[in-house]
Every structure is written in structure tokens, then in C-alpha cells.
Structure 1
């Protein structure tokens, strides 16, 4: 599955002994292996993902019999996680095309594989049509008459009834269905073009020339520039419709940005984890240098810091305003034992990765980076739990341990396992290195002192 590797090979690359010597030489570029396809380990990862998914589904089914409401909430948590990896993968891919940095060359195939799962995310969205009424008031009371009846029956407060009527243009079953179709349609179209162009770029008869570089750079930049702007707005719709609207009376102008950065946080964690694991095998063993790994660590730190900044900015704005319509959202996450989870979320999501990624040596250590990236994925799941569960009346300011609460573990494991199976399938479907890129020769240069 090698394409054009002759452009970057040393003289004598056909000889395995010469190639081995070149790989460990102090001077001169390294040699790309003849086979750039994914190693057999990826197939093993697929199998493990499927086994994990089956176990998660069985446990979630048992919990669903005991407490279906919590399973429905956990399903929303899991769907938002895989949607973030899919859409966020596309967004970071477009960001790489815009910035053109070397850091993106080793991440490009994992990012393309994440974005290509859009149809899996679309299929996983269908169950919301079955149990959406258990999650969102806009789904349970879609008309003015239904809202009035619920208000008179004591099922809604006046504030909730007013919000449902006022926001119905955006928050209604028909409107949300159209919005999510547009979002997933956008991801599908942009992913199709960028992934197709990626292979066509490598197959370009003029590959390796400046004219070819400029042609494909212009095409991908033009599509990615407008794509980032569109996705930022479309993601905000999903964040509002599916998560912020769990509390129909609450609103935040920072919400979309917080989710956008949170997606980048999780995407980089998974992408770096995949890349480091692949570097145990060829061709990533030849390609991934400590220089690029260090750059990826710095990029992760930037997203951690931006995540901290935006979340604190939202809190500071609401605290300063001291508005009765806004502060209950935070009070629901402090009272009744929730202050423990709020503190843990701060530690898990921000303090741990921030302190680890400040260390220069940490970013060079493969084992430590693997551990941190897995921790960050867990922290993202924990943060989604913190965002979702306290919105419901039985949980607001009243955390209580029950069998159903464990669905927040089993359901993400099940849905995450399913998504990872298709992610690894996509990853194994194309060469792991984009060849027709000016940075390819750079990553094959010998490591410099650092």
C-alpha cells in the first residue's frame, strides 16, 4: 500500500540491512518502509473494542430494566462523546489544513478515521426519537396546548412553560430533527471531500512537485476555512438542543465554545494515544519523532488551558451577574453532595492534565503520554456526566447513589466500543502516512538535539 515512497528513500533502501542502518544513523534522512498500511495490531484493537461493546451492552441492558431513566441520560452522555470525536476530528483536521503544521501529518489519518464515522454517529442518534421525551421538555411538550395542560397539572413551572413557548421555534421535535440532519449532513459532505482529496493527493502523477503541493494546499485550505466557521455554529446548535436544553430555563453564550474546545481536548487525547500506540509498529515507528510528539503535547496543553479559561469565564460572568435565572445551574452542581463531583471534575479535567503537560520530559515519555491521554478521555466522560445529570429534578442538589447511576459507566463503554470498532476499521482502510506533503521529508530527517 506504499505510494510514492521512492521520493523519500535513501540510496540502497531496497536492501533491508541498509534501511535498518539508515533508520539508526545519526546523519541523513530515514527510509520509509515499503508497506505503509496499518499494522495487524489494529485488527486486534477492533476485536477488543467489539468485545468491550458487547459487555457494556449486556450490563446496560440489565441496568435499563432497573432504571431506564438513567440509561437514557447516560446514552446522551455517550452520544455527545462520540459525536464530539467525529465532528471534533473533522474540525481539528480542517485546522491542520489551515495551519499546515508538521504536527498534523502524523495525526491526519486518525483524524480522517474519526470524521468518517459520521454515519455511525447518525445511526446512534436514532434512539433519541424513541425515548427523547424522558430527556427533554421540548420533546415531551411540543405544543402550546401540551405546555398549558402540563402547567395546570403541576408538571411544569411557570418559568419552564414560558421558556418552552418562547423557544419553540428552535426547540421542538421537528426543528431539532432538521438541525441535527443539517449538522450531520455537513460533517458527511466535508468529510467525504477531504478524505477523497487526501487519497487523490497521494495518487497525483505530479506528486512531490511544488505545483502539486500548492494545488492541493489551496483546495483543502479553501474548503477547511469556511468549514471551521460553519462547524463552530452548527456545533453550538447541537450543544444547545441536546445538553443546554436539559434545563430549559437556563442559557449561556459561552456554551458552544466550551463544547468546541472540549471536543478538541478529547480528539487530541484519542489521536495522540492512537499515534503513540501505532509508533510501536511500522510505518509510524519510522515516522513519529520525539519532536512531533513534543509538539502534540504542547498542542494538548493549549486546549487544556483554553478549556479552563472558557469554563471559568462562564462561571465568572454568571457569578458577577448574580441573576436568579442563571445561578441555579451552578447551585444544582454544588448542593446535596454535588460539590464533591464539582471538585473532582476540576481536578480530573483540568488540574491533572495541566500539571502533567507543563513538564517537558513528560511530553517526551511514551508511557506517560499514553496514560495521560486515557485519563483525559475518562475526564471528558466525567465532565459530560457533571453537565448532564444535575439538570434533572431528582438529581439537582441531591446526588444519591443508585444502581441506575452506574449506567454512566456501562453505556459509554458500550457506545464507545461500537464507535471505536468503526474508527479502527477506517484507520486500517488507507495508508498511515500522507506522502504528497512537503512535511513528509521533514519528519524523516534525523532527530535534532532537544
Structure 2
């Protein structure tokens, strides 16, 4: 906008008529540039992502070799954190894409390409999943003791207690190496099918010969809406399975009926943070410089606030239910996260993950400020990593109710740096592979209308 005022001052000097015309142009409908592709700076970001991934890989290898007896174990645990975060971006991006098609909100026009880019990173998510299965025995009891005979032997050897042995036997239908692999084949198959179809339709929609007509709008809206409605329901069910298989089962005796919903909302928290961060950075360049108005940025800020509040509500509701029941099978999960120094991490998690974004997003002016929103979205991604650390690490006997810092614990910084760096490279590659603005959408004309935000 400042650039527009400078242009007005230059063109209107000595000519009141020209000045009035320039002022009208500055506040009138904007026009998208001819080139709607991602700016060249995306290539620079990809290079930085690879550099970060390389540094993370080297440092993680050092920790695995020199971190003592638990060095490699910490690397695996941190790798699980990185996988769950990037899976959340990929699957959450697909879920948000489907949600936008169902609701038809204007917020989704600007976010659609980043969400498509997230969902299209599925191939790298599948590759990242393979090491988890290779080293599954070092993370999950269901992998280390996959049969009744193995459980009985471990019980008699003192490697398992009665509760763990009982849980392994009763949960084997769902929690065994073959069962988990089959479940993830279904999960990845669904994501590939739904994500692939929606991504294909998105490009076909812009190339429609009847683009810009009401008939074209309605045809593509109905197709995407019908596919997305059932897709959201299926994804929620499958995500619950993923959360149980990979995180909740780290403590084989514990369970929570709200766990899947907590991960679903957590994915929304992370996807919104990354998506808004992406479009604000892109708004420094064309074509997002023209398309992103303060109005849409403010609306996305309110959307983020809603997910922060929902995240708080679900997490507290789970705690309240378990606290009020006071069941011996459930309360150790929380006791392991508030004793032996873990109370510090628990308190910081509450501040980082909820208090900071909640308080800042209450401010109307904050949501209009691009630089502040850029900083906050980056902070929220960090907070999501911190929350996953609090959920994952205390599941293991050496860390449960016994927070201690060692050389190996730094793997929770270096390994996610590697995993996220690799994922970001492919995310940015997908983002640059298609126009960053959707043309054949009725909301496109609306975001080019004069700005009303102040």
C-alpha cells in the first residue's frame, strides 16, 4: 500500500486530475499479474531446507554414535516426533483441504495451494515411515513381543509386568507388526486416492474451458464437496488408528478415548501455523502480494485462535476425565509427566502451546500485523514439537517420572531438524509446481476487491 501512495505522489505532481485517477486506482479493484507461479525465492528456501536437513543428519549421527547406551534410542524417539509432525502436516493438509471444499470459505482460496502442496508430500511420508518399522522393536512392546509365547517368556524373565502382558495379549488384533503395516497401507492408500483426486481436479478446474462461469463454479464445487464430505469422516477414523499405533501404544497399558481428537485438532493447529506462515512469506512477492489482503489474514488469525482454544479444551477435558476417575490404569500416564522434573516441561508446554498464542491472537491489531503473525506461526510450529516431546519421551522407563538431560536428549532438536528439512524441501517443490493462486473460483474476484481492513 505504501508503494501505491508513492506512485500516487509521483504521478499526481502538478496535475490534480492525474492525482485523483491514481488515488482511485490505488483503492479500486486490483488486478492479478499474468504470471501466477511461485516466486523464484522458493528455490532459495528449498536450498535452505536441504542445508538444515544435512546439518540435522550429521549432528544426529554424532549423537547416535557418542550418546552412550541410549544415544540411538533417543534418535529413534526423536525420529518418531519428526514423523508425527510431518505426517500431521501432510494428513492435516488433506483434511483442511477437504474441510475448505465442504465449507466453501473464502479463507481457503489463499490457503488451497499450500494445503495441496502439503497433501502431495505423501510419497516422502511413506519413505519416512519405513525406518520406524525397521527399528520398531526398540520403540514399541507390540513389536518386541509380537506373539503370546514371546509375551509369556518376557513375563517370566521380568521384562514385562502382569499389566503389560495382559494388554499385549488383548490388543494384539490391532497392535502387532503385521496389523500395523496393514493399517498404514489403508491409511496411505486413502490419502493417496483422495489427495490425488482433489489435486487433479484442482488443476482441471482452472483449465476448464468454461472457467469463470456460474456453471463451471457449481460443477466443480459439487464434485469436490461430495468427495470431501465422506473423506473427512474416513480420515478422522484413520487418524485415530495412527495416533493409537504410533504414540498411545508407546505405553501399552494406557488408553484415552479422546486421543484421536487431540491429534486431529493438533494437526489443525500445525497446518494453520505452517499455511499462514507460508502465505505471509509469499505475500512479499507476486502474485500473493496482490491477492493476500489484511481481511483474509485477519480471518485466518481468528481461525487459528479457534483451534488454539479447541486444543486447550480437549487436552484439559482428557485430564479432567482421568483425574476424576482416578483409575490406576490411567493416572500413571500423567504422573510420569509431572514428577521428577517433568512438571517444568509440562508447565512450559502449557505456556508455549496455549497461553502464548491464545493471548496474542486475542489482539485485533496483532492479527493484522504480518511480521507479528509470521513470528507467531513459527513459534506455534516449535510449540507443536515441544508438545510432542512431552507426549512421547516420558513413555520410556528411563524417562518416566525422571527428567534428566543428557547428550542424547539433544536428538530431539537435531533429528526433527533433519526430518522437517527433508519434508520442507518436497513441500516447497510441490508448492512451486503449480500456480499459487486458484483462478476458477468465485472467491478470486472477492479477494481482489478494495481492502476494508484498517
Question: Is contact 1:22-1:29 (8 Å) kept?
Answer: no
Distance (Å, rounded) in 1 between the aligned partners of 2:393 and 2:25: 55
Partner of 1:394: 398
* Alpha-carbon shift at residue 421 of structure 1 (Å): 0.2
Residue 39 of structure 1 is matched in structure 2 by 39
Would you say 1:385 and 2:389 are equivalent positions?
A: yes
* Corresponding residue number in structure 2 for 1:405: 409
1:82 and 2:83 correspond: no
Q: Which stretches of structure 1, 4 residues or more, deviate above 3 A after TM superposition? A: 21-24
Aligned partners of 1:23 and 1:30 also within 8 Å: no
Rounded Cα–Cα distance in structure 1 between residues aligned with 2:237 and 2:146: 24
Secondary structure at the residue paired with 1:126? Answer: helix
Residue 373 (structure 1) aligned to one of 374, 377, 384: 377
| Residues 186-225 of structure 1 mapped to structure 2, 5 A cutoff | 186-225=190-229
Query: In the TM superposition, what are the counterparts of 1:34-73 in structure 2 within 5 Å?
Result: 34-65=34-65, 66=67, 67-73=71-77
Pair 1:23–1:74, CA change in 2 (3 A): farther
Matches within 5 A, 1:98-109: 98-109=102-113
Residue 24 of structure 1, CA deviation: 7.8
Task: Find out whether 1:343 has 2:347 as its counterpart.
Answer: yes
* Alignment deviations for residues 231-274 of structure 1 (CA, whole Å, 9 cap, x no partner): 00000000000000000000000000000000000000000000
Give the corresponding residue for 1:359: 363
Q: Please give the alpha-carbon distance, in whole angstroms, between the structure 1 residues aligned to 2:23 and 2:160.
A: 68
2: distance between equivalents of 1:129 and 1:331?
29
TM-score, normalization by structure 2: 0.94
Query: Match for residue 25 of structure 1?
Result: 25
Does the 8 A contact of 1:85 with 1:267 survive in 2? yes
How far apart are 1:130 and its partner, in Å?
1.8
- State the 1:23 CA deviation: 10
* DSSP-derived class of the 1:417 partner: helix
> Is 2:90–2:119's contact at 8 Å kept on the other side of the alignment?
yes
Tell me which residue corresponds to 2:13: none
* Cα distance per residue 1:107-128 (max 9 Å; x no partner): 0000000000001000000001
Map 1:144-293; keep pairs closer than 5 Å: 144-293=148-297
* CA contact 2:294–2:453 (8 Å) conserved in 1: no
Specify every segment of 5 or more residues in structure 1 that has no aligned partner in the other structure, as ranges. 1-17
Distance in 1, matches of 2:24 and 2:384, equals 39
1:22 offset after TM fit, Å?
A: 7.7
Contact map agreement 1:22 1:30 (CA 8 A) in 2 = no
1:307 corresponds to 2:334: no
Instruction: Report how many residues are paired.
Output: 431
Identify the match of residue 432 of structure 1 among 430, 436, 440. Answer: 436
Measure how far apart 1:448 and its partner are: 1.4
- The answer to whether the 8 Å contact 1:22/1:28 transfers is no
Shift in Å, 1:415: 0.4
Task: Name the SS of the counterpart of 1:29 in structure 2.
Answer: coil
Structure 2 match to 1:11 = none
Alignment RMSD (CA, Å): 1.2
SS of residue in 1 equivalent to 2:25: coil
* Conserved 8 A contact 1:318-1:327: yes
| Alpha carbons 1:23, 1:31 under 8 Å: kept | no
Task: Note the alpha carbon deviations across 1:273-310, whole angstroms, 9 max, x for none.
Answer: 00000000000000000000000000000000000000
CA distance in 1, matches of 2:94, 2:23: 33
CA contact (8 A) 1:273 1:373 kept: yes
In structure 2, stretches of 5+ residues that fail to align are 1-17
Q: Kindly state the Cα deviation for residue 414 of structure 1 after the two structures are TM-superposed.
A: 0.3
Distance 1:413 1:449, change over 3 A: closer
C-alpha distance in 2 between matches for 1:38 and 1:322: 54
1:181 shift after superposition: 1.1
User: 8 Å contact 1:23–1:286 — kept in the other structure?
Assistant: no
Matched with 2:336 is 332
Equivalents in 1 of 2:406, 2:23: separation in Å?
Answer: 56
Cα–Cα, structure 1 residues 23 and 302, in superposed 2: closer, same or farther, change >3 Å? farther
